[in-house]
Structure 1
């Protein structure tokens, strides 16, 4: 079902909307568009000065977009009528569908069936509709906020949040909007469909999304990959980051938001930039609408120019906070120190009052430097600054016109004044220092992601569930210890030797040297039952086995006992696998033992993933230093660790159909390499 006819209609029909409708003012701009407009109303002979017809079929010709202003039941009947006509798609704003319970779900099921029968796209229901800003098509019940035409297309699962984005976009004079959509319940058309459409839409340069839930993760992330391949960045504002906000989301959209941390992991891994409010969403999108794609850079060599030390210092601090490095550019140091009295730091450059006299030389030196791949100039740029700042901006704009790198003009607060519009095209207008740094950081991250996005993980064969009797534990159904360890071994994850003491044996003939770890094998959480013995010498092994069997008998547990060598390591890691989460299989990683709880820090990747992904995940823990070398200790074998993480990812993806969760804790690192000494695997 194509969105082309619905979002770029040549003909529009309003059903149940008249001059006295509460929606009248919101849809009125459509009458001034180039679309042919029809009105359907059973009670009014005219609407907006146009004659009406009583039924949709009475129009007597195909209609690209139909907007209903009626309640849920009548809207459903309209969809069923439209399914037998040549209608491109429906815009449905009524509530009373799946978000209200069984009766509403039944209406939504009828609506979905009608749309599929008629091959129609559907925006909504229970949303605000959409606006094609470029074409002046307003099929919405959202207020007529000021909207500047441009290349940014936005889809929001939260209706009112769309207005927040539109207002933030208006405040940022450098950015314009193409199409903005309130997705509502997504009964038929969802986020994946919208992203797919905007990938091929020539009027869209970048895509913003306000997300409560991704309903079809596989299709959504495939669409995101297509967008990135087409050079169209995606930025997401994720809602529902706490239990309370998730309940609020469920109450009005029937979209239960998943764990926000998992969404962050999946989106970042897919190269999607994250925003945390509408202003940040717009900030991160702003330069994709102003700077031609051929000028985008990795922003690894950002030169920051200013006439005051305060702005230079603030720019450096904000850049660091936003994860954007400002290189020292020491290659320019000698010239700066010899040319500008009292200035010793080349970047950010505080040109001071002396710099104005040689501003053309400063611009020439910095913009021609091979170490500079982007330029930001921050200065007071209000209406009153046209005289003092105009000549300075003019010199920078002239250099930009002959260059291939991005140039950004930043006001000390807000967006530069209108007089700077004369230099638009060569220079982008940044929205404040922080907003501009966020925009540049997003650009750089996108360019780097595209450069390595071709290294996608290979397809993963299905991993069969071990055909062994399962152990019932309070958490669910568990693979026996031996089956879980062999599952790891088969996946390419090294495991410690183990020996299972036969249940009828009074002693154990263990084929490896002690001292030993002795534990009840098929118990989920052994420490709660005191079912582990450490540093057991060979002579004490029979007594330890006997003691553990007595514990098993007293707690109704399996008496099967496992013996392993006591592995001494220099460190421990934790690896967790989730087979079938909301967004797909996931691997969680962190430091093991007490550190995983003490630090309260884990990282993750959606599975499967590449070795580069695994190394990036490991390097997230570089500031902790434990794995990367600490207090004279050598670093771990991080290449080997990356290989184990990739293997865990392949296991997660291959076993997603049956593997609920698997904990490897701990994965011990020693001079002999890595070894998993235990695994708890729950089966879905």
Structure 2
């Protein structure tokens, strides 16, 4: 059978139908340690032949390590036992590349909370990180089935397997018994295990992108000598700069060369190895090309061809097939419908794109999705003289995404600044985690389109979020991203970040020879939260270079100045070179960032340029902007980012009084009673929240005045009567709460007035009245958590009230929350001054609010089935906070979260 006739065994997709109970959610495409991809999935009885063939390729030593005795072949009974599992108490996961199994890991429950775990990796694939990947996925599956501890028996000289356990980040205990090492460890995720996993993820995903961006040989499949065609443009762009081996592939060619490049009918005919294939053939032919590339051992694909998910259902099926096949044979895919990739690194000089422009080498990396926009972006970068390290236009981003590129740029020494133009977020939780890590090292400037409409381009498969557009802005702030609103602003900030140091504070010195432009700068500073340091140096319109030198010397010497804005717009240009020399000399000896409006230039003027090795502007060059508004706007963004970088050490706090296991058991019991999910009643809400040490002031439903009096008496009066029906809550024209009920007469008066006001005297049950003990007076706030289908758990905070709801005055964060995250949530809402003593009122207990935020975040992070939680009335006072009203809904999680503890490609 030829490779083009073979299909990877992927149950439910390309292979046989899976057995009953088969957990398809455990399937995952994974990246190995060397950057290649593979497919991981549960084993099935149909894998018997696959297992036998795999076992035959395993060395005798590896077999001995697995079974502690010579075991040359598997019996029929062995095969049946190893391939027939129940996926709960006995689970086996296998890793495949193409049509071959290369590794297997399994656990078997030995007690209520314990299981024995074992692995077998084909010798040719040992050292590629399969053991760690299998352990991560087995641990995740085991935790879902109540297993908390793994046990393994390992021979003392099987050092590779011992390393798999000891380097996993778990706390491992070892004992030596009868010549065997007994390894035991809890599999609950820890900060250490998360850190280990994320470091491995970054390294492997970075390597998978490096295979695409640094090829030694490239083949253009669909190459053409006909001008005006995509195949011709790709071939020419590569030919004119790429120093490696280049091949033209066209099924219809009979020539030995195309455009001076060796030509072949298929990629299989190429004598040498091929690292990267750039594909520009009709969509219906792409799958055959993928299989040919797999047979050739190609390491990655850039698919420029269109006709995939952007055209509808048939295209989506074609796209899934393309990605599934490529990943199953170890290849990553950029595209389809992509503009291509560019890498300006010395020795690479790769323009595998449709862009006729090859930017100069620089320190800025760029990721975008739209091909059409990519062309204009590259033109703008060239026009501004902004050097590029690498560029990727991912098209439909069916495989390689912005997350992958950020993993690569994190460790790419050629990249100092990262630009993202995002039309959709495929995995927001991973995006937040990866971008936060990158932003802690390098500035990341991001423009997200479609924030108001949540619209996404055709071809992008995303989960539709229920959250407001402000959530994306909050996600950016939480992750340290520099969010911008236009492409112009994107490049303005990039110019500053690429050439100047970060500000050390918010105070700005101004040197200007235009009063009008100085006023514009001051207005923009006030709007952006920057502060003028002293008085601006307002020079005359005909100020000389010496005048500028005097002013600049004083500004740069002033310790109260953190950044400098220079405005130079003389009526004549006779002294512009002299002023430029003075400005460049003054800035060269300073660590303060400088922005300018120099002759209204929109780039780095030649006079202010520090030449780089490749001709682009080097660090230390002074960027110029069309107006002071743009210059100050960019400086404000840089200042905010610098403050984020300087934040005090932020940590996820330890929270006493939390019983996660009890909460998980409660949720499972509730779902057994309500398989389709339901809202919790008051008793269940209080019970669930108590597992996270969140105490709620009890409220007691009443249906009559007599019942209200009796309940108030039981409570010792000093109570409230409250209507909790949704249609009457927070109505500005109705009082839904009657406070300060001291005795029976007060209660009867309250009952009569409220039933009359709400028009429910004949049916008081419609108002859903409750009696509740009076809480200490305070400022009412709302803390909510929502399990969003795209973002996963999201926590929000705001002050309570109709006006706040209408204005959308809420802050949002994705758990886990650090101490800084919680503090910022409280302070960034516009109504926050009410919490800190407004017009003579006492400040409230901010720490109590932050503690509740952490506990709600922890709850929603650990309990995916809590799809909605509202502490919809929390009274915060000077010495604490009282939760007086809650709603909670629990339901089965139909779409699991995308960013799981175990590594996978999504």
TM-score scaled by structure 2?
0.65
Is residue 735 of structure 2 the alignment partner of residue 534 of structure 1? no
1:484 corresponding residue in structure 2: 685
Distance 2:286 2:793 in 1: 38
Is residue 334 of structure 2 the alignment partner of residue 123 of structure 1? yes
1:436 pairs with one of 609, 621, 631: 631
- 1:114-139 per-position Cα deviation (integer Å, ceiling 9, x unaligned): 22232212101122222224554222
Is residue 772 of structure 2 the alignment partner of residue 564 of structure 1? yes
1:333 corresponding residue in structure 2: none
Residue 351 of structure 1 and its aligned partner are, at CA, apart by 5.9
Residue 556 of structure 1 and its aligned partner are, at CA, apart by 9.5
2:380 pairs with one of 153, 168, 187: 168
1:213 pairs with one of 424, 445, 470: 424
Distance 1:226 1:670 in 2: 37
The 1:206/1:500 distance shift into structure 2, 3 A limit, reads same
Distance 1:556 1:93 in 2: 64
Is residue 445 of structure 2 the alignment partner of residue 235 of structure 1? yes
Residue 583 of structure 1 and its aligned partner are, at CA, apart by 2.1
The 1:678/1:307 distance shift into structure 2, 3 A limit, reads same
- 1:437-488 per-position Cα deviation (integer Å, ceiling 9, x unaligned): 2332233223222223742425888552745758999x97211123223434
Distance 1:76 1:459 in 2: 51
Mapped contact 2:220–2:234 kept (Cα < 8 A):
no
2:67 corresponding residue in structure 1: none
2:549 corresponding residue in structure 1: 360
Residue 58 of structure 1 and its aligned partner are, at CA, apart by 0.9
Residue 533 of structure 1 and its aligned partner are, at CA, apart by 6.5
1:334 corresponding residue in structure 2: none
Which stretch has the larger CA shift, 106-115 or 421-430? 421-430
Distance 2:400 2:729 in 1: 49
- SS of corresponding position for 1:151: strand
1:5 pairs with one of 196, 211, 219: 211
* Structure 2 unpaired stretches of 5+: 1-34, 36-207, 612-616, 892-906
Is residue 655 of structure 2 the alignment partner of residue 448 of structure 1? no
Residue 509 of structure 1 and its aligned partner are, at CA, apart by 6.9
1:579 corresponding residue in structure 2: 787
The 1:252/1:103 distance shift into structure 2, 3 A limit, reads closer
2:469 corresponding residue in structure 1: 260
Distance 1:9 1:171 in 2: 28
Residue 381 of structure 1 and its aligned partner are, at CA, apart by 8.1
The 1:238/1:396 distance shift into structure 2, 3 A limit, reads same
Q: RMSD between aligned alpha carbons?
A: 3.7
- 1:193-236 per-position Cα deviation (integer Å, ceiling 9, x unaligned): 1110111222211111111332233433332233234x211111
Distance 1:556 1:186 in 2: 54
- SS of corresponding position for 2:834: coil
Residue 378 of structure 1 and its aligned partner are, at CA, apart by 1.6
- 1:153-188 per-position Cα deviation (integer Å, ceiling 9, x unaligned): 111123322223223323323x22222211122222
1:272 corresponding residue in structure 2: 481
Distance 1:484 1:524 in 2: 17
The 1:94/1:403 distance shift into structure 2, 3 A limit, reads same
2:353 pairs with one of 125, 134, 140: 140
Which stretch has the larger CA shift, 264-273 or 560-569? 560-569
Distance 2:306 2:543 in 1: 64
Distance 1:612 1:290 in 2: 30
2:302 pairs with one of 87, 91, 110: 91
Distance 1:469 1:403 in 2: 64
Aligned ranges for residues 615-630 of structure 1 at < 5 Å? Answer: 615-621=823-829, 625-630=833-838
Is residue 597 of structure 2 the alignment partner of residue 410 of structure 1? yes
How many residues matched?
A: 650
Distance 1:52 1:209 in 2: 36
Distance 2:543 2:722 in 1: 76
The 1:117/1:26 distance shift into structure 2, 3 A limit, reads closer
Is residue 531 of structure 2 the alignment partner of residue 378 of structure 1? no
- SS of corresponding position for 2:296: coil
Which stretch has the larger CA shift, 492-501 or 100-109? 492-501
Mapped contact 1:573–1:665 kept (Cα < 8 A):
yes
Distance 1:257 1:276 in 2: 22
1:678 corresponding residue in structure 2: 885
Which stretch has the larger CA shift, 644-653 or 116-125? 644-653
Mapped contact 1:313–1:348 kept (Cα < 8 A):
no
Residue 654 of structure 1 and its aligned partner are, at CA, apart by 2.5
TM-score scaled by structure 1?
0.85
2:664 corresponding residue in structure 1: 464
